[in-house]
Structure 1
Amino acid sequence: MEKQMVTILQKATIGMAPYETLYGRKCRSPLYWDEVSESQLLGPELVQEMKEKIALIRNRMLTAQSQQQSYSDKHRRNLEFAVGYLVYLKVSPMRNVYRFGNKGKHRPRYVRPFQVVKQVIRHEPLDIQPNLTYEELPVQILDRNEQQLRTRTNTLVKILWRNHGVEEASWELEQQMRDKYPHLFEWT
């Protein structure tokens, strides 16, 4: 039953059975072969025929994909939230990370409803290069810490980066930051 369903779905997307697209004829059972030895195509003719079949399959799959995309676009809507709405937080699955006490198939996909308190839209224009990259520049030093290792002590500074919030600040080695960005340390 499952095999028949797969064949039906494949026929629906490319318009013919996979056997028919590859071999150019309907699939027949071994009981009804006309002759034991059928003539086979060899050489460049076979390669050309296979290229044509692959092109036909690709075109039909693109057509089916386009139809499915237009159907899903018709039924898609933009989400809009107002202050006071209750919304669920979607949890992204990550390997070996257990959130909210459960793991495996019993872990929640969405977490309890949260109330929208205020709407915040933060828009900062990026200075994007022609190759679609941008340079991360430090804005200021937020904190300083010393990390004690066995043989030496590393001094770390917490850097606030441009186009990022305080929660995304990172700890960097002070000496590397002094070498790259001396203007951050003018106050010392």
Structure 2
Amino acid sequence: MPGGNQPSNLEFGCRHAPSRGVADSSDKVKVIQARLLTTQSRQKSHTDRRVRDLVFLRVGDVTYELALPPGLSSIHQVFHVSMLKKYVSDGSHVIRWDSVMLDENLSYEEESIAILDRQIRKLRPKEIASLKVQWRGRPVDI
């Protein structure tokens, strides 16, 4: 091999000069890393602005404690990670705390206005009835 331990392009039947493939790839990786860092920073600042009320404290490997305001102190605050799921934002999910009247069991009753749809689903030996209900103070889901 001419020139030491490295083979030349002619030995492998290559007719063109070696490309800058490795250098180009490393440049592209640096650009991608910079863009990822920018995106992560943007997402973090957005999250920091939006999430202020809830504080999660890690209690164990898979358990968390939720720091709640004093008005909700009788709710069980420790939960397992398996209870979490991805949240899809929806404006109808926002509840004004002052508009909800909780009883001593920290529950409330919703008032139905109308039955919008009825269905009966047949599952082998059973028939299961389901109703779509319009609740007072909630938008109609289509």
Larger helix fraction of residues: 1
TM exceeds 0.5? no
Normalising to structure 2: TM-score of the pair? 0.30
Larger strand fraction of residues: 2
